[in-house]
Amino acid sequence: MLRAATEAPLGDDVMGEDPTVNALEEFAADLFGKERALFCPTGTMANLAAILSHCHYNKSSEIIIGAKSHINLYEGGGYANIAGVSSKQVVEDENGYMQSGGIRDNYRLDDDDHYAKTTLLCLENTHNMLGGVTLPASYIDQVGNLAHEELGIKVHIDGARLMNSVVKQNISPSDLIAGADSASICLSKALGAPMGSLLVGETEFIRLARRARKRLGGGMRQAGVMASMGMYALTNHVERLAEDHARAERIAAELHNAGFPMPRNGKVDTNILFFALPENSKVTKEELPKLLLDKYNVLIAGGYSKGGGYLGWSHTWM
């Protein structure tokens, strides 16, 4: 990967002249079955550029997002305070699904002066806060059909860990997201590049997303240094994600068998797992991360709380 970065031919990506960035974008568009792709510094920027693009021509837009989605919880509220769109949140089930009834109930036309107009539906695959669960192509196709044929709105996938879903389901990236209009794909999470995300979609969508990226401060000059490492990750690291999944499954099995409470009865799809401490634990959720790091050199996050009550689902990325 380092050799790829040091040997990459470079140009000015703001002017569309970096051959390495162009090659990565062309490769990604073909891989994911979309017309065009855009290289962005981060996944948060890629998602926000997607929202700005999809909502470009409707200044009273509203988007439907999952209540536990990364876009809703962990991207600084950018869809509201930067893109200027409102949102309706639908609670996902334990498998990451937003049910069709919930989507319909939160869809709004602009035939009432009180309402913003629903323009976009966002999914997340794999789903971070639900423990890396995967959305199958059948579900994405079903939601895409509902959005396109019945509601007349677009579908975007936050696919920060989309390649984990691809590997778990043994499906091509293009088939997995065929039912969606756009998707973001992180090159650093799991794939191992130091930075960067891709945004894929149709030509006009990417044209508007590129303009949005510029407004967000994401125009980069000799970005081929980073794009080359992203290309290396996509062409060399995808198959190895199965190794991460196997490690996560092994850790989950050990924790579950030892009496640690876990969601979905300990089932793990990909590379994220959550667990709670047993009631007789001698350490707290605050103490555990430091203990594991200091004594065993194991790094985990410190857990989540909700409404003042301890949920206890700490998570780790393998």
CATH class of 241-317: alpha beta
Return d(Cα 45, Cα 223) in angstroms, integer. Answer: 16
Helix, coil or strand: residue 75: coil
Q: Do the Cβ atoms of 195 and 187 come closer than 8 Å?
A: yes
Residue 250: per-residue pLDDT: 95
CATH class of 2-236: alpha beta
Q: Which residues of the chain have pLDDT under 70?
A: 302-318
- Mind listing the pLDDT tens digit for each residue in 179-219? 999 999 999 988 999 999 999 999 999 999 999 999 999 99
Query: Tokens 């040091």 sit at which residue?
Result: 6
Residue 270: per-residue pLDDT: 95
Residue 4: per-residue pLDDT: 96
Question: At CA 190, angle to CA 185 and CA 194, rounded to 5?
Answer: 80
Q: Do the Cβ atoms of 243 and 192 come closer than 8 Å?
A: no
pTM for the structure as a whole: 0.94
Domain residue ranges in the chain: 2-236, 241-317
